């Protein structure tokens, strides 16, 4: 991974992960180690929470296609080590909330997903997803 190219996004918006029963299995110990590391990073790196949350659903039977997604997240992190939240001073502070829902959009078990964000001015202060 040290010689890998960096990418701009942790996961493509069109990415559809599924169980991939025909895929080749990977080492569960290594896979779960990556999960632990990325979950630890989500406390400070809010930009990867959705991608990690989508990816960790397959930890009981990981396949090569799932490991490729993990590597994409790691490549994204490699290129965004200096990414920080910026708060401009003197800005108007209006609280704005956005909510979105996707009913039965998850291909594996047809779960619904809802998402929300809260902005104070132009700064993201709270976000969340629910399945």
pLDDT, tens digit only, all 131 positions of the chain = 889 999 999 888 778 888 888 999 999 999 999 999 999 998 878 889 889 988 998 888 999 999 999 999 999 999 998 877 665 666 666 788 999 888 776 677 777 788 899 887 777 888 888 77
Sign of CA dihedral 17, 19, 23, 28: positive
* Start-end of H helices in 20-128: 28-41, 49-55, 64-79
């Amino acid at each position: 991974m040290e010689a890998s190219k960096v990418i701009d996004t942790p996961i493509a918006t069109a990415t559809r992960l599924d169980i991939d029963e025909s895929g080749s299995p990977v080492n569960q110990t290594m896979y779960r180690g990556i999960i632990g590391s990325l979950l630890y990073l989500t406390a400070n790196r809010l930009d990867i929470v959705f991608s990690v949350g989508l990816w960790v659903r397959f930890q009981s039977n990981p396949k090569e296609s799932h490991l490729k997604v993990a590597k994409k997240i790691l490549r994204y992190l490699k290129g965004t080590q200096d990414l920080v939240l910026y708060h401009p001073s003197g800005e108007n502070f209006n609280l704005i909330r956005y909510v979105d829902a996707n009913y039965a959009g998850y291909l594996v078990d047809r779960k619904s997903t809802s998402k929300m964000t809260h902005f104070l001015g132009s700064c993201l202060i709270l976000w969340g997803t629910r399945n």
